[in-house]
Structure 1
Amino acid sequence: MVPHLITALNGPINELEARILESMPATERWFRLEWMEHTPTFYASVDLRNAGFKLAPVDTNLFPTGFNHLTAPMLPQAVQAGMAAIEKICPEARNLLLIPEPGKRCSFYLDHLAILVRIFTQAGLNVRLGALDPAQTEPEELALAGGGSLVIEPVVRKRGRLMIKGFDPCTILLNCDLAAGTPPQLMGLHEQYLLPPLHAGWSVRRKSQHFRAYDEVAKRFAKLLGMDPWLITPMFQGVDLQGKHGLEALQTAADAQLTKVRRKYKEYGINERPFVIIKSDVGSYGRGVMTVRDGKDIETLAERLPENLGQEVIVQEGVPTHERVHEAVAEPVVYTMDRYVVGGFYRVHANRGIDENLNAPGASFVPLAFAESPHLPRPGEKPGASAPNRFYMYGVIGRLAMLAASYELEATDPQAEAEEAA
């Protein structure tokens, strides 16, 4: 069943959708060649914003939660993608150790973990959940809201390998974002594959690095299709708030971004008031995200900036969302595994505006439920008229963000940097 959805698919985005559909063979070949050169991130979720005149990613999470929001018909694709990913990494894999976020025990997250266990079990793996917390010395059984339970067991380290008593995995899947730093148990593992790699954690990773990589990917893809990369790219600038001129640098960056957006709006005849989003340059779970329409407004936020955002921030072009689900503001979120789109949902917030962050308390989730597969678009139909076409377009932009994450991790790989220095 297709959710009741209202979308402002008019103006340039009609041309964008038509261009992507017409270029589908070239697009798929381009992705295929890219994946021959670059290793996809194991899994990811990508937040998109559809403004009606542009469609762009605004966040890419390499430790995604929310797999419980995917519909049952989406799971076979996830199982197949999981099989493909594991076969490339460790073809003889038998055991998978899944490391959840420490201390996170809410029902939604447990349901998410249960879906991950189901996916990888059906992909042919024995899956166990391991706790990194040294204070946990006994298995902990946790009830699921819909019935059944999960058991999280203490991990031990022996001979340089991370394991559970009687369970020695060749692959360790992290579902914790390492924002607090890298646990010593995960360092220097002996002949075990760690997914994602440690430098994907938020103690190392920066959003500005990701969007620099995305700029590169989007420009190359836009050149292939003969279009303006701005239609699929949010402009941005990283700012360091440390020092006495930090606030001034933030105001300057905000005004510079607003000026660039105004020029683009004028070029495309867009009658909207531009805004920028100021947020932490590291993972912040949606906290402290601020909407600014004038650099002068930052003065009134000055006291709250370091507390909410830390010292490193990103000033990103605000992409309004003109999609609604049941009259509430909505944004699509695309889920990927290996190089495949495996599903997604709409994040919906009845109390937020089109220019605000929707990843906030009070958000609800509506699966991207549709009667026909998003992998089978209808190129002959009028742009904006077909849900499969729209979802295919979401998948293309989601895969561009996933490819950018691959570029990003390659560029920040400490082992590659060490080899280059040597």
Structure 2
Amino acid sequence: MNDDEKDDLARLLSEHIRRQNPDCQWVHLYPESHSRNQAYVENVKAIQEIVISAGYKCTVGSPELADFDDLHGLSGPLVLNKTESIDDVLLVDGKQPDMILLNNDLSGGILPGISEMNVTPNPSMGWHLRRKSEHFEALEYYTNQMASLLDIDPWHLMADWFVSEDKCLDEDSCRIRLASEIDAFIGKIQSKYEALGINRKPVVFLKNDRGTYGLGILVLSEGKELLSLSNRKMKKLMYSKSGSKVENFLIQEGVPTAMRFNEHTVEPVVYLVDGQAASWFYRMNKKKSDQDNLNSPSSVFANRTDVDEILTARARNWHELVAELSMLAMGRELQLRSQNPLDGSELS
């Protein structure tokens, strides 16, 4: 992030906090427990810096990190504050903060000590309840409206997708059924390609409908590839951070990237605050094709200013539009979940 982006992020965060809690003076940042991941720690340090720049006191810590005084980031240590849950209230250095800012995906459920506190984002958007397919359903609602306003095919704003439910992939019969579904889906995409004069074979991304880690993402060009998976790839596909059994899979059309820079395949990543795109960086991977998952150990990251402006400028408005539509979709997810608090799986 450059200084201008930091200023924009701080301004948007301040507006968000004031709207949530006008009297807030102290924000406590509740992180994941990745004590050895220096890149993650650096990310938390950056968030803390932005909160402080927005004009708030900002502490960091969790009961799970109680044994650590600090964590080591790429640029130095992140000081942790003593954080404990007493009678379902989170206390930091013995006092209660005005607001909890979650940097934790809640895969394992609601965190102790936050249920009765002012928390943002809303804990009901955690991955203990949420599904990727819920987001796609909500996103379609806004994508169709925007496509109508722009007089374009919604397909230009959102990839096709479907959910395959109750697939216990440790059984051959389940794999065979899923492979058949994938072939039918790829055939549908191929027909779309041919109608638009796109001369290439489509791929799909297969992923767990829950969770955020991205370990279990497979890129497939035909269903039979699923039938010959190695044990290692099968374990990754079935991995769930929370330890819950993976049964539902999201199958998503792979969208080739047209962006290349210095022999790297490139895709944009955007940070949004309070629903607005505010900061950008680019994931680049020299070992992956334009149809691959670029999120791998061979990826590198570049600031917006490090990448050719001609490359980024022509597509940035479209990327910003898609990102902000996703923020609207998250709001719709939350709205629909509040109407069905005991069942977050049906948002249509």
Q: TM-score range by the shorter chain?
A: 0.7 to 0.9
Matches within 5 A, 1:289-368: 289-301=217-229, 304-305=233-234, 308-309=237-238, 310-368=246-304
Corresponding position: 1:92 with 2:23: yes
Structure 2 length normalisation: TM-score?
Answer: 0.87
Q: Of residues 142, 162, 169 in structure 1, which corresponds to 2:71? A: 142
Q: Of residues 128, 140, 147 in structure 2, which corresponds to 1:215? A: 140
Aligned-partner Cα distance in 1 for 2:22–2:317: 30
Equivalent AA in structure 2 for residue 280 of structure 1? N
Deviations 1:170-201 (A, max 9, x none): 21011111223333333x31xx2212222222
Aligned-partner Cα distance in 2 for 1:92–1:139: 31
Q: Of residues 165, 168, 180 in structure 2, which corresponds to 1:242? A: 168
Aligned length: 332
Matches within 5 A, 1:41-120: 70-120=1-51
Please, which runs of 5 or more residues in structure 2 have no aligned partner?
239-245, 344-348
Aligned-partner Cα distance in 2 for 1:157–1:276: 44
Deviations 1:377-415 (A, max 9, x none): xxxxxxxx6844532221111101111121122222377
Identity of aligned residues (%): 27
Aligned-partner Cα distance in 2 for 1:151–1:266: 56
The question of whether the paired residues in 2 share the 8 Å contact of 1:98 and 1:130 is answered with yes
SS at match of 2:61: strand
Structure 1 length normalisation: TM-score?
Answer: 0.73
1:350 Cα deviation after fit:
1.2
Distance change in 2, residues 1:416/1:311 (3 Å)? closer
Aligned-partner Cα distance in 2 for 1:170–1:256: 52
Distance change in 2, residues 1:81/1:297 (3 Å)? same
Distance change in 2, residues 1:284/1:91 (3 Å)? closer
Please, which runs of 5 or more residues in structure 1 have no aligned partner?
1-69, 375-384
The question of whether the paired residues in 2 share the 8 Å contact of 1:275 and 1:292 is answered with yes
Partner residue, 1:261: 189
1:103 Cα deviation after fit:
3.3
Higher relative contact order (CA 8 A, sep 6+): 1
Aligned-partner Cα distance in 1 for 2:89–2:113: 9
Distance change in 2, residues 1:307/1:142 (3 Å)? closer
Aligned-partner Cα distance in 2 for 1:128–1:74: 22
The RMSD of aligned alpha carbons is: 2.5
SS at match of 1:361: coil
